[in-house]
Structure 1
Amino acid sequence: MSQIQILNLQSLSQGLPAITPAFGAAIAEAGAICLTDEAHQPGVTLKVEGEFSATFKLDWQPVTDQTRRCWNDEEYTTEQAAYGIAFLLIQYSGQFLERYYKSYRASIIKKSN
């Protein structure tokens, strides 16, 4: 059995190749909110099976009242928290993370007289 790795959500605040430190810090906060709201304590075990198999212990910063007020939208917070954990797992797997560039084209419709 492989050694248990630590995934520290706060490490996202250092940024990744395609994630700024500010965005990383924000999604780390979202992760802390979600994990705490589900009554998990730092050190909870996360078992991953799929493309790779590993066991991790999750660690995060304590949640403050200010943090809770900032992340008061449960659906959005959960989405951002999931991104944070996924980014850490991608980094652990050795894959490279790059955000997809979206291009929007405006259509101009001429009014007929």
Structure 2
Amino acid sequence: MKPLFDENYVTRVLVVLENGPKKVLENPGGGEFMAAMGGAKSGLPFMVFLDAKGKKLADSNVMPVLKNPTAPPTNIGCPAAPEEIVAFGELLKKTAPRLSDAQRQTILDEFTKAAPKR
């Protein structure tokens, strides 16, 4: 799965929202960047997808709020539930157009295998 991500994305991790003694581990400006990208109330992990020029393409706030359909979508976090995995597949389709359907399905299958059994 990692090669598929590496071929289609440049991945960067920002450390944010740490507590107590771990607060010093945060990336300077990381919290502000997360907020500017729409993740202020999203929780972790929060993903944002940018193009090569830094323009935002999408973020992980794509889960519909079922009890209140007019509420803004919520964060998928690490996709584990079937509906989260489907939403993540749509993010992949939108942000990595070179991924084939089969490659995208390979990624989604890995998330499905790793998901907690219900």
Taking structure 2 as the reference length, the TM-score comes to 0.26
* Structure of greater Rg: 1
Taking structure 1 as the reference length, the TM-score comes to 0.27
Higher relative contact order (Cα pairs below 8 Å, separated by 6+ residues): 1
